[in-house]
Amino acid sequence: MSEPSLTCDSLLRKATISIAGESPRLDAELLLGQVTGLSRTSFRAWPERQVTATEARRFEALVQLRAIGHPVAHLLGEQEFWSLPLKVNASTLIPRPDTECLVEAVLGLAVTDTARVLDLGTGTGAIALALANERRGWQILACDAEASAVELATDNALRLNLPVTLVLSEWFDQLPAGRFDVIVSNPPYIASDDHHLGEGDVRFEPASALISGEEGLDDIRVIVAASPTWLNAGGWLVIEHGYDQGDAVRRLFGQAGLVAVETRRDYGDRDRLTLGQWPA
Ligand code: GLN
């Protein structure tokens, strides 16, 4: 073990080669930051800085996991969403930047300061917590069908000190009776034979959070059809979906009797969410 190999720069160079993939240098910097507690800027400002042999070994172990595809978020145990540091683990979907479009869409709705909001299939709690962070007066209920997800989201809510109520429920099935001004959801919407399921981070995420029947629409169908009995007059349904599902989802919204139905695009300019209103 020669000393020079334990500089941040040499460790990062080696790791960047073995990680490969889309953003190997960034991934390596995040992992070395995790192990050493140093900031990413410090790797540039002080590339010759030495790390301890123990830190180097821990870093190399993480790099090996990353090289075989484990998501960076799982290795860090954390993923930022709407500037909130969320704990993540293999029991839920890793929050995606595109899902921030749902948060923006909900924040743009004309609803009262004390609106009742429901996040269906909350996973890490990302959407509900982002909304709670922006609208202190909203009463936010979030559910998930997986106990491990409810536990994770509860933990995130407590750590961030954000007032979201978490319940175990498969969609509406175990919810307390009541109606909402906004129902928002990022449900599973990938078709069961989609080749993307064999690539990248999704290989390490639960199928239950990703896959929804042959067309990817099974869960969206259930949520949209049930929404009228859970929405207040004038209340909104906002759902994330695949880039090629806009037409089908708008049709489902229409069949359920929702009005002002509109599909919006994500930061990559692809159809990503549809919203509609239960008529007043
Ligand atoms: N947007 C995610 C992906 O394509 C899928 C999220 C979901 O199914 N809700 O990886």
Digit-by-digit pLDDT tens for the chain (280 residues) are 445 579 999 999 999 999 988 999 999 999 999 999 999 999 999 999 999 999 999 999 999 999 999 999 999 999 999 999 999 999 999 999 999 999 999 999 999 999 999 999 999 999 999 999 999 999 999 999 999 999 999 999 999 999 999 999 999 999 999 999 999 999 999 999 999 999 999 999 999 999 999 999 999 999 999 999 999 999 999 999 999 999 999 999 999 999 999 999 999 999 999 999 999 8
How confident is the model at residue 1, as a pLDDT?
47
CA of 67 from ligand 1 middle (Å) equals 22
Q: What is the pTM of this model?
A: 0.94
CA of 60 from ligand 1 middle (Å) equals 30
The three-state secondary structure class of 273 is: strand
How confident is the model at residue 21, as a pLDDT?
87
C-alpha closest to that of 69 among 237, 204, 222: 204
The string of DSSP codes covering 66-107 is: HHTT--HHHHHTEEEETTEEEE--TTSPPP-GGGHHHHHHHH
CB-ligand 1 contact for 273 (6 Å cutoff): no
CB-ligand 1 contact for 99 (6 Å cutoff): no
> How far, in Å, CA of 107 to CA of 76, rounded?
29
Token pair, residue 44, equals 């540039």
CA of 262 from ligand 1 middle (Å) equals 20
Relative to the CA of 201, which ligand 1 atom is closest?
A: 10
CB-ligand 1 contact for 192 (6 Å cutoff): no
Domain with CATH 1.10.8.10 in the chain: 8-68
CATH superfamily to which 90-277 belongs: Vaccinia Virus protein VP39 (3.40.50.150)
8-68 has CATH 2.60.40.730 classification: no
Domain with CATH 3.40.50.150 in the chain: 90-277
Using most ligand atoms within 8 A of CB, pick from 99, 119, 122, 190 the residue to mutate for ligand 1.
Answer: 190
* Residue closest by Cα to atom 7 of ligand 1: 188
